[in-house]
Amino acid sequence: MKVLVVGGGGREHALVWKLAQSPVVSEVYAAPGNAGTASIGTNVAIEVDDVEGLLAFAVSNGIGLTVVGPEAPLVLGLVDRFQERSLRVFGPTAASARLEGSKAFAKATMRRFGVPTADYGEFDDPEAARAFIRRLGAPLVVKADGLAAGKGVVIARRVEDALAAVDDMMVAGAFGEAGRRVVVEEFLEGEEASFLAFCDGKTVVPMASSQDHKAVFDADQGPNTGGMGAYSPAPVVTAEIHREAMERVMIPMVDGMARAGTPYVGVLYAGLMIRDGALKVLEFNCRFGDPECQPIVMRMKGDLVPVLEACLDGRLDEVRLEWDPRAAVCVVLASEGYPGAYPKGLEIQGLEAASSLPEVAVFHAGTRRGEGGRVLTSGGRVLGVTALGAGVAEAIDRAYEAVAKIRWPGMHCRSDIGRKALGRAVEATDG
């Protein structure tokens, strides 16, 4: 079977790497892909939001399964369009992907299904938002309703900062239509974790737990990024938190979405805030996390294709996932200046030395092939250096040993990925 992976980040390289290992897969395409996916399969120069272009490619090339990485094409209705043409495609429909595409919709849905989340208000009118902010007091969080490439969330330590965010989003239109409506919510303290599950519209099969590192600098300092590293399993997801995440979040959401006539098929990713043994949902994503997908896929045993197909066919109750008992750690290497503006086209050295280390996979994100086999930077997050180890400490050491072999001018990474897990016992929560 020919498989198409939509996207060009570390998540998509990890998916291509895993799918290419399947005995039923003859060829893997990535659109648009990166230098890493090109080393395994074939890159196709179609952008992720060009739904009609992707559809035409899938039809004319006999693609048997399309797997969608990023949220934008899902929110645009790629899955609906492919289904209209009877193509097999993994991911939620536009109606289900609204859980990520509209924060107001996600909050209202959580409230409706009794899922624990921060108190909030939703506003189309800046004056009403300002009044709510003054009443709530700081700290608080202002979120653009629509997709804003991960930049639409402002954590306001002072009321003035929240008011400025309202002006920015609602009046000045910093995020266009995506920010004309905002969600204002209470600030939650605690530790974050990523809870991802496969869903077939009825059944929820959780993946191994993971934790992302959103801030650009060590010790969670500096602005938020798409994610500077991740590891799995995450000990903060205790057996009790895991049970709560299933019983109070995932199952009510999937049951509720089915009752609402929009059954959820694909990966549902709950961003959790955990404090004193209790959890609240910060957000839903309608896809695999990036970088979380990289350590998760490295720990996933067996063939991914039957799992994705079981989701499409409503047979997920027959699936049991198996996980490598070892830990995996992914350290993201980023371009100078990221998450702000950054240079492109710089040559990356040491890729082979890094990826030839045992139990290491160097997943590419913002890379492209240059002349003469050179690999050049082409994005903010450039590589996800991922390693397995007997425990998280060993995985950290291996990942950073590989990181030390790679360089390009201005490359930077966090030096503390996975550190929160050290010294904490891991309870058995996989699967």
Return the bridge partners of 2, or none.
Answer: 27
Partner whose footprint covers residue 290, from ligand GLY, ligand AMP, none (CB < 5 to 8 Å by kind): ligand GLY
Comparing CB distances to ligand GLY, the nearer of 101 and 289 is 289
Site for ligand GLY in 220-239 (CB under 6 A): 226-227
Task: In angstroms, give the least distance from the CB of 164 to ligand AMP.
Answer: 17
| H-type alpha helices, 305-391 | 305-313, 351-355
CA–CA dist 331, 318 (Å, integer):
34
Q: Which stretch binds ligand GLY (CB under 6 A): 24-32, 107-115, 287-295, 407-415?
A: 287-295
Are 232 and 206 spatial neighbours (Cβ–Cβ below 8 Å)? no
Residue 355 found at the interface with ligand GLY (CB under 6 A) = no
Amino acid at 243: R
Q: How far is CA 169 from CA 106, 129, 371, in A?
A: 19, 11, 42
Residue 285 found at the interface with ligand GLY (CB under 6 A) = yes
Partner whose footprint covers residue 50, from ligand AMP, ligand GLY, none (CB < 5 to 8 Å by kind): none
| Three-state helix/strand/coil letters over 207-244 | CCCEEECCEEEHHHEEEECCCCEEEECCCCCCHHHHHH
Q: Which stretch binds ligand GLY (CB under 6 A): 138-146, 168-176, 284-292, 304-312?
A: 284-292
Task: Name the closest residue to ligand AMP (Cβ).
Answer: 283
CA–CA dist 385, 402 (Å, integer):
7
Comparing CB distances to ligand AMP, the nearer of 191 and 401 is 191
Partner whose footprint covers residue 330, from ligand AMP, ligand GLY, none (CB < 5 to 8 Å by kind): none
What is the H or E stretch that residue 28 is in?
Answer: strand 27-32
Give the residue carrying structure tokens 């939650």.
188
Residue 292 found at the interface with ligand GLY (CB under 6 A) = yes
Helix 103-113 with 94-101: angle, nearest 10 deg: 100
Return the bridge partners of 221, or none.
Answer: 217
By CB under 6 A, name the binding residues for ligand AMP: 118, 141, 143, 153, 155, 185, 187-188, 192, 214, 224, 271, 282-283
Task: In angstroms, give the least distance from the CB of 155 to ligand AMP.
Answer: 6
Quick count: other Cβ atoms within 10 Å of Cβ 113?
18
Q: Which stretch binds ligand GLY (CB under 6 A): 34-42, 125-133, 286-294, 317-325?
A: 286-294
Q: Give the binding site for ligand GLY (CB under 6 A).
A: 212, 226-227, 285, 289-290, 292
